[in-house]
Amino acid sequence: MGVAGTFKCENGHEFFARSGSLLHATQYRCDRCDRVKMVELPSLVEVMTGDVSRPKPPGRCICGGTFKTELSPKCPTCGSRETECVKVKALED
Ligand SMILES: [Zn+2]
Ligand SMILES: [Zn+2]
């Protein structure tokens, strides 16, 4: 379940971001520049027929950072990852 909405960092900056993975894709975030990359998961049909190529992690970001799952959105103002969602605008499947 992914969340899109207003986030607030430990220093009180508010910004819009989305967080979490979707049903059909895993969300990776760069640990340096916070670039988001979605990697699609195999469809149910592909899983049932065994015709599955495992989704590959995206590897390195162009900035030299590493893509990771489950990183909190980074505050664009101060760069803190101590952020929390204060207002949910949309829940995505
Ligand atoms: Zn990056
Ligand atoms: Zn901040």
Domain limits of the chain? 2-92
Looking at residue 9, what is its pLDDT? 97
Concatenate the DSSP letters of all residues of 37-84 into one string: EEEEPPPHHHHHHT--PPPPP--B-TTS-BEEESPPPPPTTT----EE
One pLDDT digit (tens) per residue for the chain, 93 residues? 678 899 999 999 999 998 877 778 888 999 999 999 988 887 777 777 877 666 677 889 999 999 998 899 999 999 999 999 999 887 766
Q: How far is the CA of 41 from the centre of ligand 2 (A)?
A: 32
Looking at residue 16, what is its pLDDT? 94
Nearest ligand, CA 31 = 1
Nearest ligand, CA 81 = 2
Q: How far is the CA of 15 from the centre of ligand 1 (A)?
A: 19
Looking at residue 93, what is its pLDDT? 63
Nearest ligand, CA 68 = 1
Looking at residue 1, what is its pLDDT? 62
Our measurement of the distance from residue 49's CA atom to the centroid of its chain's CA atoms, rounded to an integer in Å, reads 29
- Are the C-beta atoms of 69 and 26 separated by less than 8 Å? yes
**Cα distances (angstroms) measured from residue 52 to each of 32, 45, 65, 71, 91:** 31, 9, 28, 27, 28
